[in-house]
Amino acid sequence: MASLARRPPLLVPAVARHTATVIFIHGLGDTGHGWASAVEQWRRRQRLDEVKFILPHAPSIPITANWGMKMPGWYDIFAIDGSAEALRRNEDEAGILTSQAYFHDLIQKEIDSGIPADRIVIGGFSQGGAMGLFSGLTAKCKLAGIIALSSYLLLSLKFAELVPKPEFNKETPIFMAHGDADPVVNYKLGTMTRDLLKEMGYNVKFETYPGMGHSACLEELDLIEDFLTERLPKVADKSEQKSEL
C-alpha cells in the first residue's frame, strides 16, 4: 500500500487571503471531483472566502466486496451489507494506517505552508468520513474541527491504543450526520460511533436525517457550512484593524 501511485488532490483556492484549509475526503468509488459542487454550495454565501479546500483522490485498489475489482478506495472493504458486524470484522488495518499517514502528511504540509493547525478542518463522506474521523482524532496537533458524514469509527476495538498521548483533539468539535435509512453504512453503526466517542469524552454533535439513504442532502450541507464558518471564522485584516485605532 505504501508505494501506491497517488494523483495530486483537487485544490479549490481561497477566494480571499488564504487563512484556513478544509481537507474533505470522498467515499469508496468516487473522486475528489465528486465533492466539488458541495464546495461551491458551502462558499455561495461568501462566508468561507479565506478557506482553501483540498479534495484528495483515492488510489485505485482491489476491493474484496467488489469481487476484487479495482476502484478508488482508501482501504479495502470485505463486505458491504450495512451491518456494524461486517464493517468492523476483518478491517484492513494496513490500508487504513497507510491512508492515515497520507492525511497526516496533507495536514503537515498545510502547517508547513503557514496555516495553523487550529485553522484546519478534516472530514469526509462514508469511507472518507471514516478516514477523516480516524485521521483527525489521531493527529498530533490540535485541529479546528472534524466532519464525519454517513460514516463510522475505524479500528474501534483498538482505537484507544492508537490515539496520541496526550490527545490533541479530545475537545475538538466533531460534526457527524447520518441518514436513518442508510443501506451501506448502517445508521446503527453511526449512532454506535457517536455513543462510543461520547463515552470516551469527545465533543460530538450528531444529526439524523429521517428517510435518507447513503447520501447527503441540502439541509446537511447547510449545517456543514455553518460548522465551517464557526470553526474557521474570517481573520480580520491587520491593516484594517490598525486604521481603526
Report the phi/psi class of residue 37: left, alpha or beta, with left for phi > 0 and alpha for psi in -120 to 50: alpha
Active site residue 126: yes
Active site residue 18: no
Instruction: Please report which residue ranges of the chain form alpha helices under DSSP H.
Output: 36-43, 84-88, 93-112, 127-137, 159-162, 187-199, 218-231, 238-244
> Closest by alpha carbon to 56, among 3, 109, 113, 116?
109
Q: Which of 99, 126, 135, 150 is catalytic?
A: 126
132 phi/psi in degrees, rounded to 5: -65, -45
Q: Which of 52, 61, 53, 6 is nearest to 28 (CA)?
A: 61
Active site residue 182: yes
Would you please indicate which residues are annotated as catalytic (active-site) residues? 126, 182, 214
